[in-house]
Amino acid sequence: MYSIKRSQKIPLNLTKAWNFFSKPENLKLITPKDLSFKILFRSDAGEMYPGMIVSYTISPLFHITLKWTTEITQVKENKYFIDNQINGPYKIWHHEHHFKETENGIEMRDILFYEMPLGFIGRFLHKIFIRKKIEEIFSYRANKIKELFG
């Protein structure tokens, strides 16, 4: 299993940060355009809750479109939420989003655990391509958040 941990300080109050990051539709604003991210379905247009299902498509390579469905499994308002892939390109995808108030805004932490499918082939693709692509997505996201919020 692989993991990535990222932390970013954002000059927003906790309520504004939570309101932005807990809305699945805002993910498109902080996702690289070349991934062609598109939400297909969400189980509810209201507030995020445990059990919420979000289905979307991404095109990570050669315009190949992949369907991906996640479930929000845990939510503690203004503290954290966790999404897990229930259908998609990974064998396991567990993504934690944590928020902590600081003197100058908030600290947002992403903790991602994931596992590749396809045994040796998946590990090989991870080594030569996928790890780098995931890191690039998180870097893009950090830069976009800085652009949006300072």
> What pLDDT, on a 0 to 100 scale, did the predictor assign at position 62?
78
Is the pTM for the entire model greater than 0.85?
yes
- Strands (E) in 11-137, as ranges, are 38-42, 53-61, 64-76, 80-87, 92-102, 105-115
Q: What is the Cα–Cα distance from 91 to 76, expressed in whole angstroms? A: 26
> What pLDDT, on a 0 to 100 scale, did the predictor assign at position 67?
96
For each of the domains in the chain, give its residue range(s) and CATH number, in order of start.
2-149 (3.30.530.20)
> What pLDDT, on a 0 to 100 scale, did the predictor assign at position 45?
75
Mean pLDDT throughout 125-137?
A: 95
Residue 61: pLDDT over 80: no
Q: Do 114 and 137 meet the contact criterion of CB atoms below 8 Å apart?
A: no
pLDDT category at 47 given cuts 50, 70, 90 is: confident
* DSSP-derived 3-state class of residue 124: helix
